Structure 1
């Protein structure tokens, strides 16, 4: 709430403030303006109070009034001073904003699923431009935060130390707003009890990181369109009004497209550790980034995960496998040719709130068919897993021609011989390694040796169900019912010209 409420309120400050004198009539006018986006009930019941406070307006959120207006069946214990914002009109039409977001607050909900939280020393200040419906600048800080959940199955305790945040925005050349937000917190600690379900086990896990950071950026975000939709939702809360004004809703939804050009969020955990009953797992650096395009005809989604310095309790692994354990990885996966624009516009045009359902099943099926006809792709971009001796790289893509998947993937490995040697040596005394060794040889037999010494496997999965590896048939087409999956010993290994697979010139058979 402390994060969302300020931005909902500030989005609603659409009245320019040129030369405005702060007084009681101005507070009344501001209340009327805000009521369009938060509803008159919030003002009439005292949940929100707006008053003149010197040269600024004070907006107070009263939690007591909120509880009275929305009584809970579970008894509540809380100590929340009214949330307050001071907004001061500036000569250029923008507003100066300042607030103690949640000083020394807690809410305690009685019962088996109670939650208690507290935030200390939290404050925010910034400049809001009603013409952009966005903050052009802002900065926040807090001294710390604690959250405790008493869920009977999976209780959780979370605490973080001091944190800071910044944000800024400017007009986008293509329409909408470009913005950037950053946040950094120290001393992240979360302890949870993982429920083992039918096993009855309760496993405690503690996750720690001395520093957690986040970055969120957006291009061409249609903030004004979101504000208009918010106003419509408040004005049409009952079903009859919503049905009667659905033409306006369709117009507002269409105007909001494509929602944004691009949104990207990135999170980073430094020195991350997981303390468990079986030992400590660790990551020196973990980063995750998500990038999502707006609703367009050629939309894209990209996910990137990077992890470095992976450690696991060695007692969990066979001793021979420790040297082969990956220490670093980078995964890049996404989607291309995602035509959400056509789907969205057709759905907006076709839905009818006077019918149940508003969109027929037949329409939904046709919409999915149109979406698939654009040939959307799942793309695995260059991704790697490595340790000091071995590096595995993989990339590929999957499409769905005729609603059946078709995929190609290229895998290459540097240091594969070190894997085989380690498994071979361990096979003399370790039954598990002895079982793995033949498979390791079989996999190598399918490989193509590249000029730099890497081994490569190009895997093709076709719509008929057949799978080949470097041209060798691993699985025939689904039409073959008598032997749908070939034994590796019966697979023909392609000749790559190196001579290593020759068998008297008669076409080598894989015999590990």
Structure 2
């Protein structure tokens, strides 16, 4: 019941009504909206006054009194002060959609004890949360929206640790279009920004840490999302979460919904970028003028490609723990990109459809489903770009490793490494070796590696490296290790 309550509560804003067409703004209409919003809730909570709906001119005012959720909570384990009701205004449109809007604030404080009986005091405040959007009852989700949040502050304090975070402002936008092909799927585009981010952590056992960013920008796209089927799956789970075993009819029903939903998307991408990111501690300070993270998935369902990576520009580190003679070797920029191609979600879906949800061996079936993601058990990891640059080196690498998911021995690799100004790197290591003799071995190793290099037209040193499954290794076509003896 607890899962059902939590999940249903999180969906309150998404389950407005089944249709907006022809709805009159009166008390009967308000009652109908309320009945729709409370139908997922337990009966006692539905009657508690958690949700109130009133006619308000040409629209409805929906009031959420979240304090009602805490009626049965033991005050010895959780208390909260300042939790006042907030309102959302909903206007029915002739198209069957709804305009929603609101402008609320929040300022609460409280106390809780976890399972370990560790007491925590917390505060949470938002000066203003203003939003507008267009809600589509057919998918129980927003077709478009925009929101502005100002002055967010959060604190959490225990006997041994204190955490605080704040955001000056945040902007968010969402838009959608019907996917090409007219199959009822939807493409979503979202984006936004955060300004004035600050987080501070301190504790008895750890030195204080401060994380700052002037701005954080985020963008995302999801194409081909079966929003209606996803809604149906959520509602199905809510209706049957308390059942120990699904009936054959319900098993067939959920499998039918899942089958209609596959593939769950045709492509997905997300990027997050922070500007003037800094991390400060008692032992020093570091950061980057720009830091970015990205993740993407696309391609046909039987050969999808999952990629992820991060990059940082104008990296700086200022700490007495690092001798000044080593500072030139710290990278000033990094770009690390990885990808896993040929993920077979089509076979994964087929295995899911064949799974018996009531079978005690369902966990083992889940493992088998996971193996279906990798065709014939083969795993590939691509490196579209790995680069690092400092005052004394400039290195780029691309490549691919292929192996199996069930062993670490059967693998192969193809890689290309490019280095600019390698003589400068060697000279810098040799200079450093005057005070740290152990680095003479590093200098000697780099010179040996240089002997295998080719020179590209742009002056960079190149190494094309090949490692075969039989253990043979070649560099720029020159064999440096023979194949391993066969058993």
TM-score, structure 1 as length reference: 0.83
Match among 251, 254, 269 for residue 256 of structure 2: 251
What is residue 186 of structure 2 aligned with on the other side?
Answer: 177
**Greater fraction strand:** 2
Equivalents in 1 of 2:45, 2:381: separation in Å? Answer: 46
Kept after mapping to 2: 8 A contact 1:225/1:256: yes
What is residue 450 of structure 1 aligned with on the other side?
Answer: 456
The two structures, once aligned, show a CA RMSD in angstroms of 2.9
Matched, 1:87 2:93: no
Kept after mapping to 1: 8 A contact 2:342/2:374: no
Q: Deviations over 1:54-94 (max 9, x none)?
A: 33222222222101145465131321111321111122221
Equivalents in 2 of 1:52, 1:295: separation in Å? Answer: 49
Matched, 1:305 2:296: no
The Cα shift of 1:284 comes to 0.3
Matched, 1:284 2:289: yes
Match among 419, 427, 431 for residue 425 of structure 2: 419
What is residue 408 of structure 1 aligned with on the other side?
Answer: 414
Kept after mapping to 2: 8 A contact 1:191/1:206: yes
Matched, 1:167 2:171: no
How many aligned positions are there? 471
What is residue 143 of structure 2 aligned with on the other side?
Answer: 136
Q: Return 441-450 or 255-264, whichever deviates more.
A: 441-450
Equivalents in 2 of 1:294, 1:79: separation in Å? Answer: 49
The Cα shift of 1:358 comes to 2.4
The 1:415–1:191 alpha-carbon spacing in structure 2 relative to 1, beyond 3 Å, is: same
Superposed, 1:119-268 pairs within 5 Å as 119-131=126-138, 133-150=140-157, 155-174=162-181, 175=183, 176-193=185-202, 202-240=206-244, 242-244=246-248, 245-268=250-273
The Cα shift of 1:258 comes to 1.2
Equivalents in 1 of 2:448, 2:75: separation in Å? Answer: 64
The 1:335–1:118 alpha-carbon spacing in structure 2 relative to 1, beyond 3 Å, is: same
The Cα shift of 1:152 comes to 5.6
The 1:41–1:294 alpha-carbon spacing in structure 2 relative to 1, beyond 3 Å, is: farther
The 1:128–1:301 alpha-carbon spacing in structure 2 relative to 1, beyond 3 Å, is: same
Other structure's SS at 2:424 match: helix
Other structure's SS at 2:316 match: coil
Equivalents in 1 of 2:323, 2:478: separation in Å? Answer: 33
Kept after mapping to 2: 8 A contact 1:27/1:50: yes
The 1:426–1:64 alpha-carbon spacing in structure 2 relative to 1, beyond 3 Å, is: closer
The Cα shift of 1:388 comes to 4.8
Kept after mapping to 2: 8 A contact 1:259/1:294: no
Other structure's SS at 2:29 match: helix
What is residue 498 of structure 1 aligned with on the other side?
Answer: none
The Cα shift of 1:301 comes to 1.0
The Cα shift of 1:35 comes to 4.1
TM-score, structure 2 as length reference: 0.87
Q: Return 53-62 or 334-343, whichever deviates more.
A: 53-62
The Cα shift of 1:357 comes to 2.6
